[in-house]
């Protein structure tokens, strides 16, 4: 039996069909995703640091060494420094960065493991407040869906406020 290379029309229709199916699945997943309540760990006024395996606890810092503050109480210089270091396009993106996700995916595929995140501030907040630190494809897909919904349902100020109140800045 001879192998024939597909005709350009076949390639086009197959690609379009796959795109339609993928889009339909993405829409279904998005519609069925709810924003959960923040998990217990994110609500606690302490920080848990894990070993690189993502499971083993290295340290738990503080019992009540945190005080939630409003975004107005955080100096603009600190807000700008966090945005510059973590997510320069925070105010212009929809909660996720498609280019960041693609870049991370390519690096992960090339390296053979999940080492890159491609995460926006919204995604980092979702991971910390709603999900777990475990690096799995399922967790990443949930993170993307919840971050997209969060980006559409909450203001950027609220997301940044919540993020700044859940991350660890170090040294008490």
Cβ proximity of 61 and 49 under 8 Å: yes
Q: What angle do CA 28, 34, 35 make, to 5 degrees?
A: 140
Residue 104 CA: distances (Å) to CA of 53, 62, 100, 111, 152? 19, 33, 6, 10, 23
Q: Label residues 119-141 b or e (16+ Cβ within 10 Å = b).
A: bbbbbbbbbbbbbeeebeeebbe
User: Among all chains, which residue has been given the structure tokens 């320069």?
Assistant: 88
Residue 50 DSSP SS3: strand
Alpha helices in the chain (DSSP H): 8-32, 40-43, 76-86, 98-111, 121-130, 137-153, 156-164
What pTM value is reported for the model? 0.69
pLDDT in tens, 97-126: 888 878 877 887 777 665 556 689 999 898
Tell me the pLDDT of the chain (172 aa) as tens digits: 677 788 888 888 889 999 999 888 888 888 887 777 765 555 555 667 788 887 788 877 665 556 778 999 999 999 999 999 988 999 999 888 888 878 877 887 777 665 556 689 999 898 888 887 777 878 888 888 999 999 988 999 999 998 988 887 765 4
């Amino acid at each position: 039996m001879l192998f024939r290379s597909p005709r350009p029309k076949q390639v086009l229709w197959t690609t379009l069909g796959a795109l339609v199916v993928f889009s339909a699945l993405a829409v279904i997943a998005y519609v069925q995703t709810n924003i959960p309540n923040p998990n217990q760990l994110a609500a606690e006024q302490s920080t848990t640091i894990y070993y690189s395996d993502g499971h083993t606890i290295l340290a738990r810092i503080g019992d009540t060494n945190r005080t939630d503050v409003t975004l107005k109480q955080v100096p603009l210089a600190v807000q700008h420094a966090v945005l510059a270091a973590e997510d320069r396009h925070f105010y212009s993106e929809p909660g996720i960065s498609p280019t960041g996700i693609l870049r991370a995916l390519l690096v992960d595929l090339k390296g053979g493991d999940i080492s890159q995140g491609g995460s926006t501030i919204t995604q980092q907040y979702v991971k910390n407040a709603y999900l777990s630190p475990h690096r799995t494809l399922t967790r990443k897909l949930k993170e993307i869906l919840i971050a997209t919904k969060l980006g559409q349902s909450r203001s950027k100020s609220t997301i940044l406020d919540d993020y700044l109140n859940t991350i660890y800045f170090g040294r008490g």
